[in-house]
Structure 1
Amino acid sequence: MSKLTSPFGPRTALSALAGVALFASAPAQAADQVKPDPKLVVVISIDQFSANLFEQWRGQWKGGLGKLGREGVVYPNGYQSHGMTETCPGHSSLLTGSYPNRTGIVGNNWYDATTGKKSYCLLDESVTLAAPSEQDPVSPRNLMVPTYGEWLKAVSPKSRVYGVSGKDRGAITMAGHDPDGAFWYQAGFGFTTYVKPGEDAAAKLAPVAALNARLAAEQKKKPFVWTYENKACAALEKTWTTGERTWDAKLPRPLPANQAETLRDLSASPYTDAVTLEAAAALRDEFGLGDGPQVDVLTVSLSATDFIGHRYGTRGPEMCDHLSRLDARLDTFLSRIGKAKGEVLVVLSADHGGSDFPERLHDEGYDISRIATSAWLKGLNQQLRADLALDYDPLVAPGGIDTLVIVGADKKAPAAVERARIASAALALVRSRGEVAEAYEINDLLTTPPVAKGTSPDTISVKERLRRSAYPGRSGDILVAFKPNLVPATASSTYVATHGTPWDYDRRVPILFWWKNAQARERILPIETVDIAPTIAAVTGVPIPKAIDGRCRPLGAGHDC
């Protein structure tokens, strides 16, 4: 049996798998599960935390991640059930109980055919940002459904809802409309938020002002440098060539050349999650979340795993050290929020999964490769120009080549007859390409009846997955599913791995529920991220809206929600 290279010591491949299997199959305690009765609900999303990543490192965690996995109700086979598995739509599903075709958040970006411009998922030009930024102004306006926090406030007006993240789309989509606060980390400033007309920026930032000042002082005195905290991770070091770049997977990273690179490197490091957890704990302490008679909500979206996964891949020394650090930081975080006077329910999942970069997987014997995105789109447009006698490119791809938008010469929506002519030719051309598994025109998806509610997410068709990512005016004209293990992303100096496909390596995520004195249970059958909100609602006595896609899942034995 060949040896596995492990930063935690040599093990055979068989023993590595057996260790996880024995751990996962440990019998649940015989005592009946006592349902939680929380006064504080903490929902944590680890961005790009695939089920594969969870299982790969699960047996090594001794801190907070380990505690949740050992002591909680664990669903290792959770699913983001839509097709376009990106950060914004994935987060929109976590606390709404709804798929993106209902939340309206179908991608990180979409194309506004009325203006001929690309639009960010949370763009709202009626608001401003509390801190100076080159980013677009954002708010929850584009989120078309309420979140659990809003369900809760409807029956418990004194409940508080706060959200914090390393990304605006992680904080806003989980906290929902009109929370008590939604904050995200902006490297070089600290935590920021959005400001509606008539609101005062300083007042909106007041809950995080002291933390921001402290973080700035600490960075000025001793800037964060990412070196190994877990030195065993150095065993995974190797030199790689991705695209036209050759680089060393190792820590510390080369020194940045300028301030922009310094801030970018800081974001794509464990520092982002460390300060996000600190902000979340500080909000709990400052506002006494969980101390009163009402139920409070704290949402925490940890973005560093996604930043690191995109930049360095998911199975190298960088991710190894990051997850080791996160395990330790979550342990401290759980201790701090555990000081709440009421019971605390912690839920952990992810907005989507992800895969390692193709070159490393190919080196390990997998048949996996990249699709050169610009060349692929250019080829489609050249063929359509010739076939349809056009003097312009009729297709644009605002967020990736899996979503194609039909435009006229002015880059806006063409007349209906012309759109239909281009759509017919483009769809046939896309479907003829050998690298494409399936492709659908948007109106076909919008008029396709949904499968029965409760259909297992691992059995639904690719078309159904894409249907759940289809929203009028936001989803483009042709949605494409490339064949598995064909990665529609070109490698760059800061981007080597990605996600976004309808395949299981991007859809499967863990879903964990933990509270003090919970009986550890392993639930192996698939559930969906849209089941999280109704499950929380059931244990907190909040009415579950009928017009959602998810179902309550019992945290105890049997079927009682």
Structure 2
Amino acid sequence: METPPVKLKYPIAALVGALCLAGAGTTVAQEAAPAARRATAAIQAPKLLVVIAVDQLSADLFAEYRGRFRGGLARLATGVVFPSAYQAHGATETCPGHSTILTGSHPARTGVVANNYFDLSVARADKRVYCAEDETVPDTSSGSGKYAPSVKHLLVPTLGDLMKARDPQAQVVSVAGKDRAAIMMGGHRADETLWLAPTGLTSYRGKALSPTAERAATVIAAAINQPRGPLTLPAECAAQDIAIPLANGASVGTGRMARDAGDFRRFLASPEADGAVLATAAALRQARRMGQGSGTDLLIIGLSATDYVGHGTGTEGSEMCLQLAGLDRELGDFLARLDATGMNYAVVLTADHGGHDLPERNRQNAWPDAQRIDTALDPEALGNEVAEKLGLPQPLLHGEGGDYYLSKALTAAQRKAALAEILPRLRAHPQVEMVATRDELAAHPISRRAPDMWSVMDRLRASFHPDRSGDFIVALKPRVTPIAEPGVGYVATHGSVWDYDRRVPMIFWRKDLAGFEQPNAVMTVDIMPTLAALIGLPVDAGAIDGRCLDLVSGPDSSCQQ
């Protein structure tokens, strides 16, 4: 018996009704088009490009749930589907991943090497630099809520920047659950760059919200300040409703996403947050009449709830099942509203990175070797131990993720002695796959092969930037979770060089586009030149890492300009 569609209702649905006057609330069926008409439509410039990034939607999750989708994700999956695309680089974190999607470039070129890196030359005491901040602003730090959001660390233009350069009247709007998603995809010249906040929405550099964004913020804030009862678990999620006990005494796997009034963190970790972003995007598109002018506009949407759920409860529990069912429904409602306008629009959906489940559940589910990282690999702990042994100044090491930075206070001789002590220790550790120094990485060319053929060194090189990366980079072995102890909202993560973190779905959809499946490896850096070709925007192939993907099945090509 076929499983019925999952219908999940969230308070945030009122936002669409309050702000968007056109459209329906259910997915509109698409008419079949003759092959000749499909081919013709496929090479005509769309009036609106919609770029959707679903944070932590791995290729594994997409494959696992694909047969359950009934809404927007099911619709998009009738298009051109690359089920095994790659965030090809090794630093599979949110900021680097988002930086690739609309620049056509690996982090080695975008300069966005990690969510956080260390610049030991900055004037402030906090040497950690957040990827989407301006660390030169006085009285700021990289701590959450204490930094000045900025796009300054993105060293290359985005698709929106190039569209604006060609046509200043082109509209670019970026809305996301996270600031780094909105900023890295929105680029340097977006008309509006917005993300969720406890007050509903906030904007780039404190810019005043537009009237539509202000109304959206009011409705979202009201929703956040209302309690939410537990969601009903669909029957198709029952097999994943298994409690996984953690060392801290808590458990995950059986959650229903209930929350207290004002609990912003739990609001973010639910389909309610994605609904808020999609409804805001729909309202801004309508207010600005995007896609209804003489040129092409760009609407960018960053959906972050899947990532928050993955971090907080893992990828295989009831919580993720609820999240993906809700995401599917909310996307369906959003696409139906675009359909109601009758405009010619194109959609691409992908992810900034993948993710893997928490080790406690992996050990129950046929992977007994899944581990949490050894605290001996912590940069501060390792640095202090080596500094005491060699009589070197402290702090000796700074680091987060895989990048380790040596103190700038060291003499050349001290630096050599420190590396001679540290590198062998790390390379001998049973949880370490590889340690690559900055000299080794700088000498290694960026691979031009298909990303599924890349070595670990190739992956690390694509994330290396000489001005921002560490003195050496550590890659952990597969299924080693870089969280030593599970905490509230943080039990699982991503960021490794392995394919469960690198592989993501990549889908292109247009109403009259004949869909096909291409399982061969492509990359998220291919998105920008592919979309640029659709709108006849020239791109310097030597200035990017991606290539145009032909979306037309047949003798015609969408890559002709």
Could you tell me how far apart the structure 1 residues matched to 2:389 and 2:493 are? 33
Q: Which of structure 1's runs of 4+ aligned residues deviate more than 4 A? A: 6-9, 28-32, 125-129, 253-256
Could you tell me how far apart the structure 2 residues matched to 1:290 and 1:326 are? 24
Residue 478 of structure 1: how far off its partner (Å): 1.2
Evaluate the alpha carbon distance shift between residue 369 and residue 275 of structure 1 in structure 2; reply closer, same or farther with a 3 A threshold: same
Residue 100 of structure 1: how far off its partner (Å): 0.3
Residue 432 of structure 1: how far off its partner (Å): 1.7
- Counterpart residue number, 2:19: none
Could you tell me how far apart the structure 1 residues matched to 2:82 and 2:195 are? 28
- Counterpart residue number, 1:22: none
Q: Which amino acid aligns with 2:47?
A: K
- Asked whether the equivalents of residues 75 and 523 of structure 1 are also in contact (C-alpha less than 8 Å), the reply is yes
Secondary structure in 2 matching 1:527: coil
Identity of aligned residues (%): 40
Could you tell me how far apart the structure 2 residues matched to 1:150 and 1:300 are? 16
1:172 to 173, 183, 193: 183
1:249 to 232, 249, 253: 253
- Counterpart residue number, 1:388: 390
- Asked whether the equivalents of residues 100 and 110 of structure 2 are also in contact (C-alpha less than 8 Å), the reply is yes
Cα deviation code 1:57-76 (max 9, x no counterpart): 0011010001111x200000
- Counterpart residue number, 2:550: 554
- Asked whether the equivalents of residues 392 and 414 of structure 2 are also in contact (C-alpha less than 8 Å), the reply is no
Secondary structure in 1 matching 2:433: strand
List runs of 5+ in structure 2 lacking aligned partners: 7-32
1:495 to 490, 513, 535: 490
Residue 353 of structure 1: how far off its partner (Å): 0.3
Could you tell me how far apart the structure 2 residues matched to 1:90 and 1:413 are? 33
- Counterpart residue number, 1:21: none
- Counterpart residue number, 2:130: 120
Q: Which amino acid aligns with 1:176?
A: G
Cα deviation code 1:396-452 (max 9, x no counterpart): 22x22x221112xxxx55344433332343222211212111111112212322233
List runs of 5+ in structure 1 lacking aligned partners: 1-5, 10-27
Residue 393 of structure 1: how far off its partner (Å): 4.6
Q: Which amino acid aligns with 1:138?
A: P
Evaluate the alpha carbon distance shift between residue 337 and residue 368 of structure 1 in structure 2; reply closer, same or farther with a 3 A threshold: farther
Q: Which amino acid aligns with 1:527?
A: V
Secondary structure in 2 matching 1:458: helix
Secondary structure in 1 matching 2:267: helix
Q: TM-score, normalised by structure 1?
A: 0.86
Residue 488 of structure 1: how far off its partner (Å): 1.7
- Asked whether the equivalents of residues 46 and 302 of structure 1 are also in contact (C-alpha less than 8 Å), the reply is yes
Deviates more, 1:370-379 or 1:287-296: 370-379
- Asked whether the equivalents of residues 292 and 342 of structure 1 are also in contact (C-alpha less than 8 Å), the reply is no
Could you tell me how far apart the structure 2 residues matched to 1:559 and 1:106 are? 38
- Asked whether the equivalents of residues 164 and 189 of structure 2 are also in contact (C-alpha less than 8 Å), the reply is no
2:414 to 413, 418, 421: 418
Alignment of 1:426-505 (within 5 A): 426-452=422-448, 455-490=449-484, 491-505=486-500
- Counterpart residue number, 2:350: 349
Alignment of 1:23-42 (within 5 A): 33-34=39-40, 35-36=42-43, 37-42=45-50
1:144 to 145, 155, 159: 155
Evaluate the alpha carbon distance shift between residue 60 and residue 143 of structure 1 in structure 2; reply closer, same or farther with a 3 A threshold: same
Evaluate the alpha carbon distance shift between residue 153 and residue 414 of structure 1 in structure 2; reply closer, same or farther with a 3 A threshold: same
Evaluate the alpha carbon distance shift between residue 265 and residue 373 of structure 1 in structure 2; reply closer, same or farther with a 3 A threshold: farther
Instruction: Kindly indicate whether residue 199 of structure 2 is the aligned counterpart of residue 189 of structure 1.
Output: yes
Secondary structure in 1 matching 2:465: coil
Q: TM-score, normalised by structure 2?
A: 0.86
Q: Which amino acid aligns with 1:534?
A: P
Secondary structure in 2 matching 1:141: coil
- Counterpart residue number, 2:170: 159
Residue 124 of structure 1: how far off its partner (Å): 1.2
Q: Which amino acid aligns with 2:202?
A: T
- Counterpart residue number, 1:214: 219
Could you tell me how far apart the structure 2 residues matched to 1:385 and 1:218 are? 51
Evaluate the alpha carbon distance shift between residue 357 and residue 189 of structure 1 in structure 2; reply closer, same or farther with a 3 A threshold: same
Residue 335 of structure 1: how far off its partner (Å): 1.1
Residue 135 of structure 1: how far off its partner (Å): 3.7
Q: Which amino acid aligns with 2:57?
A: F
Residue 341 of structure 1: how far off its partner (Å): 4.9
Cα deviation code 1:505-527 (max 9, x no counterpart): 00000000001021110011110
- Counterpart residue number, 1:363: 364
- Asked whether the equivalents of residues 33 and 555 of structure 1 are also in contact (C-alpha less than 8 Å), the reply is no
Instruction: Kindly indicate whether residue 246 of structure 2 is the aligned counterpart of residue 239 of structure 1.
Output: no
Evaluate the alpha carbon distance shift between residue 394 and residue 335 of structure 1 in structure 2; reply closer, same or farther with a 3 A threshold: same
- Counterpart residue number, 2:16: none
Secondary structure in 2 matching 1:338: helix
Evaluate the alpha carbon distance shift between residue 503 and residue 29 of structure 1 in structure 2; reply closer, same or farther with a 3 A threshold: farther
- Asked whether the equivalents of residues 234 and 250 of structure 1 are also in contact (C-alpha less than 8 Å), the reply is no
Evaluate the alpha carbon distance shift between residue 155 and residue 255 of structure 1 in structure 2; reply closer, same or farther with a 3 A threshold: closer
Q: Which amino acid aligns with 2:216?
A: L
Evaluate the alpha carbon distance shift between residue 244 and residue 224 of structure 1 in structure 2; reply closer, same or farther with a 3 A threshold: closer
Count residues in correspondence.
516
Cα deviation code 1:476-520 (max 9, x no counterpart): 111111111122212112211100001000000000000102111
